[in-house]
Structures are given as structure tokens and as C-alpha cells.
Amino acid sequence: MRRGLVALGDSITCGRGGFPTLGVHPQSWALWLAEALGLPVTNLGVDGAIAADLVREQLPRLEPPYDVAALFVGANDTRSAGWDPDAFERDVATLLTALREAADRVLLLTVPLDLGRPPAGDKPAAANAILRRLAGDDVVVCALDDLAGPRVMLPDAVHPTSAGMVEIADRAARALGAPVLPATLPHADSRTCRWARAA
């Protein structure tokens, strides 16, 4: 029996709270993505989690096999004064090894470069380099490096707006080969952030 999509991450994946933006109700990008793919979803995201927390607390909760395992990690790591790229790389390697074994496909999302207020500096770029290197050829990478601006990000420049959650899901669906979100969902042009109901 397949278990659909499992998502690991922090508050961005958890997706609780927030306010409607541009007519889009708030929910996690992981739930939008699961709906786009026609899969049930297990969301293991926890507010404030760093990569080490995912290894310690979320990996033990996996119940494979899954069709897709999605990982969004690094925002809290790179915003921390104690940022340790070596520890981050070690933990992400552990996460990806486990997810490769747990799912048919693994999706890895990068971190927005313009992250946080005050900004996280060059740490998100360093994290993304680690993520892309560890992804290799068998993990699908969804680039969020350029995710920025008031339509898709809240004023803290960390958490997405409800419209931003759909934008993340849309990029992830495209990365996985699903060209658009279902017609009943809001759809974003990722290049211009113009929002409209898909026809």
C-alpha cells in the first residue's frame, strides 16, 4: 500500500496560521502539491526545526513506502548565529539517504536567497550549494533561490504568504513533471507573480 507524499521540514512546510492573500486560503505548500499530484499527504513539518531536528524527530516518524518524499530544510539553519555548514551537510546527507530508501522519488527544495530580516547574508547560498551537491542525479531539485517579494513572502522574508505557498507548490509540481496545478486551484506565473484563477 502506497502512502502518497510525505513532507519534512519546518514552519514553512508545517504551514499553520497565516492570512489569505490575493484570495488564496492559507495552507501548506505540501498540501497544495499533494493535491496537484493527486496523492494523500503526511506532513511532518515542525515549527522552528533545523536539519538536526529533522534527523532526530521526523525521520523516526516515516512509514514507507511513499510515492514522493519532499524535503524543505535550511531556513532556520542559515538564520541561526550558530550556522555550521559541516553539520548541516552531514544532517542533510542523512535525511536524503533515508528518503531515497523511503520513497520512489525525492524532492528537495532550496532556500530563498533573500532570507530574513535582517538578511541571512551569504549563508542561504552556501546551504543551497550543499543541497544541490548532495541531491546528485537522483533527487529532483526545486529552486526557490529567487522566491522574494511581498506577493509571495511575508514581511519577515522567511514565511510565505498563502499565495507564496501556491507558488512553491507550483514550482515543485513542475519540477516533478506535473506542468500546472489543477484547474480548481490558484495558479501563479513564477516569473511575474501574476495571480489568477486557472481557466
Strands (E), the chain: 5-9, 41-43, 66-72, 103-109, 140-142, 186-189, 194-197
Domain ranges, residue 143 = 5-187
- What is the tens place of the pLDDT at every residue in 7-48? 999 999 998 756 666 667 779 999 999 999 999 999 999 999
Q: Is residue 151 one of the residues assigned to a domain?
A: yes
Phi and psi angles of residue 95, each rounded to the nearest 5 degrees, phi first: -60, -45
- What is the tens place of the pLDDT at every residue in 129-157? 999 999 999 999 999 999 999 999 999 99
Number of structural domains the chain divides into: 1
Q: Is residue 196 one of the residues assigned to a domain?
A: no
Mean pLDDT, residues 93-120: 97
More confident: 100 or 191: 100
pTM: 0.88
Q: Is residue 126 one of the residues assigned to a domain?
A: yes
Strands (E), 33-134: 41-43, 66-72, 103-109
Instruction: Work out the pLDDT band at 188, boundaries 50, 70, 90.
Output: very low
Domain CATH code at residue 182: 3.40.50.1110
Q: Which residues contact 166 (CB under 8 A, 6 or more apart)?
A: 24, 29, 32, 181, 185, 186, 187, 188
